[in-house]
Structure 1
Amino acid sequence: MIEARGLTKRYGDKVAVDDLSFTVKPGTVTGFLGPNGAGKSTTMRMILGLDRPTRGTALVNGHPYTHAKAPLREVGALLDAKDVHGGRTARAHLLSLCQSNGLPRRRVNDVLELTGMSEVAGKRIKGFSLGMSQRLGIAAAMLGDPQILMFDEPVNGLDPEGILWIRNFMQSLASRGRTVFVSSHLMSEMALTAQHLIVIGRGKLLADMSTQEFINQNSSARVRVRTPHAEALLDALAAQGTTTRKVDAFIEIDGLTTDAVGDLAAKHNVTIHELFAQRSSLEEAFMEMTRDSVEYHATVGDQQVPATVGGAQ
């Protein structure tokens, strides 16, 4: 289990993490979300003892990670896939980690096979693509067969097969009772991978809840309808002051249930081909939640939008 209690990190006048408290529990994949500059990477670094908090504490299994007697057996972490010695081979890199942490040599072959890296074990790391480097970083994180896994943007550079593999891999780890804490800016992937979300903005906690609860609380259900009598239905909806918009071949309707729309269509002899409730995606809910926490905005036409959806910071 990972616990953050009042974590605060200042860099001069800038507050990167601001009195942040949360718990990451075993048995579930917990997504860590926030806009660029929200403080996600800084928080992860403080949990691992790589940065010292200005105030507050970060505990791993009840103690600071810096006190761990066998670090790789307790936590496996991937923060920066390219932060390795490029002149070493993949096997040599993993072997050095085994030797420095008192792990058996056989674990090198185990994790190379686990991550699909066996065929490139003898190649130098500097020639690796980002995807290969990500797999090597995951292999290193698994060397000690730890109960806690922390991944910062683990699917960067992976192809679709690799993304599906890491998704299933993280979920299988959680299903076996391990703690899995993953930061990502890919909302569509987090919606499929994480059962719980911790969302921060400008270093502050914005949400700590299940993924479905987060979507439900930060979005509203809309109704979509497809009809060959679109103008007649639009006139009927406008007459009662209902907000509508055209989305591809559908009319999207706010504030009414599917039953209400169906009844209205029947009253005006409007034929319905499709009628269903449309709930916001995780990305839409995330944008709604964090709109006031984004540091930089870009302008598209007359509309101001966040410059990025998320990131590793």
Structure 2
Amino acid sequence: MIEARALTKRYGGRTAVADLGFTVRPGAVTGFLGPNGAGKSTTMRMILGLDAPTSGSVTVNGKRYADHPAPLHEVGAMLEARAIHTGRSARNHLLALAATTGIPRRRVDEVIDIVGLREVARKRVGGFSLGMGQRLGIASALLGDPSTLVLDEPVNGLDPEGILWIRNLLKDLVAQGRTVLLSSHLMSEMALTAEHLIVIGRGRLIADMSVADFVRDAAGGSVRVRTDDADGLRRLLAGPDVGVATLGGGVLEVTGLASDRIGRIAADHAIALAELTPQQPSLEEAFMELTRDSVEFQPPAREPEGQPA
């Protein structure tokens, strides 16, 4: 379990993380999201004792990272997969890490097999592809068989088979009761992997909830309706706070009304519906909506076409 309490980090006059509080619980993959510059990396570095908080605290399994006598047994981390001596082989890199905390050599061979690097384990890391480097970084995080994992962009550089592998691996780990904090910019993958989300912007907490609740709470949901009397239903649904778009083929897209309300209006006027489907935004759309005021850098407004720049 990871617990942050009033966590704050300042660099001179700039506040990177401000009064941040959250709990990452075991048994679920928790996604850690935020725009660039939101403070995600700083927060993860404070979890791992690489940066000291200006105020507040963060603990892993009840203790500060530095207070654990054998941290690799408590928390495994991958913040930068390629932060490895390029002249070493993958196996020697893992053996060196294992020797620091008394991890047996057989565990090195176990994690090499887990991440699928058996055939290249004795090759120099400098010749590894990006995906192979990611697998070695994950092997390093798993080395101490920790109860808690902190992973930053673990699927970066992996092919589709590798992405499916890490997704299933993380689900297996949380099924064993472990804690997983996962940061990624790949919203499609986060939607398939994470069950809970912690979202920050400009160093402050924006959301701490399940993926389903996060998407449901986002603005922009609509309802797709199909009927033989689209014109009649459109007139009945129209209102100051209701948008009705005609898509053709008897299909309407309705915003501002819940599907059950649309169904009741249609029933009251004997209009048969062939389809009534709520259209929830994707995780990416929900994320963009809820963090749009927390983006550090906004792109410049586009000039109207035909106008001089």
Q: Which moved more, 1:80-89 or 1:241-250?
A: 241-250
1:258 equivalent in alignment to 2:259? yes
In the alignment, which residue of structure 1 is the partner of 2:307?
none
- Hey, what's the Cα distance between the residues in 1 that align with 2:75 and 2:262? 53
In the alignment, which residue of structure 2 is the partner of 1:288?
289
In the alignment, which residue of structure 1 is the partner of 2:280?
279
Q: Deviations over 1:247-299 (max 9, x none)?
A: 69753101234355456667888775533111122222212211111011225
The question of whether the paired residues in 2 share the 8 Å contact of 1:19 and 1:204 is answered with yes
- Hey, what's the Cα distance between the residues in 1 that align with 2:252 and 2:193? 31
Q: Deviations over 1:125-149 (max 9, x none)?
A: 1121221111110111111111111
Please state how far the C-alpha of 1:227 moved relative to its aligned partner.
5.2
Please state how far the C-alpha of 1:69 moved relative to its aligned partner.
1.1
* Structure 1 portions without partners, runs of 5+: 304-313
- Hey, what's the Cα distance between the residues in 2 that align with 1:247 and 1:166? 40
- Hey, what's the Cα distance between the residues in 1 that align with 2:171 and 2:303? 42
- Hey, what's the Cα distance between the residues in 2 that align with 1:269 and 1:129? 63
In the alignment, which residue of structure 2 is the partner of 1:50?
50
Q: Deviations over 1:161-212 (max 9, x none)?
A: 1111111111111111111111111122112211111111000111112221
Q: Deviations over 1:219-238 (max 9, x none)?
A: 35421134576556545544
The question of whether the paired residues in 2 share the 8 Å contact of 1:26 and 1:179 is answered with yes
The question of whether the paired residues in 1 share the 8 Å contact of 2:241 and 2:256 is answered with no
Higher relative contact order structure (alpha carbons within 8 Å, sequence separation ≥ 6): 1
Pair 11,238 (structure 1): closer, same or farther in 2 beyond 3 Å: same
Taking structure 1 as the reference length, the TM-score comes to 0.88
Which residues of 2 match residues 90-239 of structure 1 at below 5 A? 90-219=90-219, 221-226=221-226, 234=234, 237-238=237-238
* Structure 2 portions without partners, runs of 5+: 305-309
Secondary structure, in 3 states, of the residue corresponding to 2:277? strand
Please state how far the C-alpha of 1:218 moved relative to its aligned partner.
2.2
Root-mean-square deviation (Å): 2.5
Pair 244,129 (structure 1): closer, same or farther in 2 beyond 3 Å: farther
The question of whether the paired residues in 2 share the 8 Å contact of 1:219 and 1:279 is answered with no
- Hey, what's the Cα distance between the residues in 1 that align with 2:67 and 2:275? 60
Pair 38,239 (structure 1): closer, same or farther in 2 beyond 3 Å: closer
Secondary structure, in 3 states, of the residue corresponding to 2:42? helix
Percent identical? 60
The question of whether the paired residues in 1 share the 8 Å contact of 2:115 and 2:135 is answered with yes
The question of whether the paired residues in 2 share the 8 Å contact of 1:95 and 1:105 is answered with yes
In the alignment, which residue of structure 2 is the partner of 1:298?
299
- Hey, what's the Cα distance between the residues in 2 that align with 1:131 and 1:248? 45
Q: Kindly provide the amino acid, as one letter, of the partner of residue 178 in structure 1.
A: R
Pair 208,258 (structure 1): closer, same or farther in 2 beyond 3 Å: closer
Secondary structure, in 3 states, of the residue corresponding to 1:292? helix
Q: Kindly provide the amino acid, as one letter, of the partner of residue 166 in structure 2.
A: I
Please state how far the C-alpha of 1:112 moved relative to its aligned partner.
0.7
The question of whether the paired residues in 2 share the 8 Å contact of 1:108 and 1:143 is answered with yes
Secondary structure, in 3 states, of the residue corresponding to 2:134? helix
Q: Which moved more, 1:144-153 or 1:283-292?
A: 283-292
Secondary structure, in 3 states, of the residue corresponding to 1:82? coil
The question of whether the paired residues in 1 share the 8 Å contact of 2:8 and 2:19 is answered with yes
Pair 246,122 (structure 1): closer, same or farther in 2 beyond 3 Å: farther
Please state how far the C-alpha of 1:239 moved relative to its aligned partner.
7.5
Pair 97,22 (structure 1): closer, same or farther in 2 beyond 3 Å: same
- Hey, what's the Cα distance between the residues in 1 that align with 2:239 and 2:27? 51
In the alignment, which residue of structure 2 is the partner of 1:309?
none
- Hey, what's the Cα distance between the residues in 2 that align with 1:233 and 1:10? 56
Q: Which moved more, 1:237-246 or 1:56-65?
A: 237-246
Number of residue-to-residue matches in the alignment: 303
Q: Which moved more, 1:52-61 or 1:72-81?
A: 52-61
Q: Kindly provide the amino acid, as one letter, of the partner of residue 16 in structure 1.
A: A
